Amino acid sequence: MGKASSRRRRGFAYERELARELWNRGFACMRAPASGAKVRRRAQPDLVAMKNGVILVFEVKTRRREGHVYIDAGQVEKLSEFARRAGGLAFIAVKILDGRGWRFVPVERLARTRGGSFKVGLEEVERGFRLRDLEVLVSGGYRSLDEYLGQGKDTNSQKDA
C-alpha cells in the first residue's frame, strides 16, 4: 500500500472516531462514502453532525504538534457551499496527534495563503472550539455562530472537553 493510500485510511479512521465521539454526545452523524471518490469530490463533506436542528459540517484533518494545516481552496469552497445550502455551520476538524484531542476551526477564521489555498495556523488551531464547545453551540443557548464567537469565547479557553 502506498503512502497516499495509507494516509487516506488513517483519515477515515479519524472520521469514524469523530463520528463516534459526537454520536456519544447525542448528535446524529452522517459520514461521506469512503469509496466513491467522484461523488465526494462533487459535494459531500467528510462528516455532518446534527442536534436540536443545528447542522455542523466538517472537513477532517490530522496534524502533528508542529506545523500548520493547509487546505485546498476548492475544498473550502465546497464545504462553505454545502453549509450555506444546509443552513449550517462549517468547520475544519483538526485531530492533534499528540493526545490533546480535537479542535474545530470555523471556516470564517481560515487565512488565505499567497498560493490561493487556505491555512489554519498553529494559533488558530489552539484557539479552536473543543467538543464541549460544540455541545454548547447546539444546546440552543446561541442563535448564531457570530453570537457564540462574540459571547462564548471565554468558555473556549477552559479545560478540554
* Residues of this chain that bind a copy of itself (CB under 8 A): 16, 23, 26-36, 39, 43-45, 48, 50-55, 57, 82-83, 85-88
Cβ of residue 145: shortest distance to a copy of itself, in angstroms? Answer: 13
| In the block, residue with C-alpha cell 477532517 | 60
Cβ of residue 84: shortest distance to a copy of itself, in angstroms? Answer: 8
Q: How many CB atoms lie within 10 A of CB 125?
A: 20
Catalytic position from the list 35, 80, 139, 144: 35
Cβ proximity to a copy of itself, 47 vs 69, nearer residue: 47
Cβ of residue 114: shortest distance to a copy of itself, in angstroms? Answer: 31
Cβ proximity to a copy of itself, 35 vs 157, nearer residue: 35
Q: d(Cα 128, Cα 68) in Å, to the nearest integer? A: 13
Cβ proximity to a copy of itself, 44 vs 60, nearer residue: 44
80 among known catalytic residues? no
Active site residues: 35
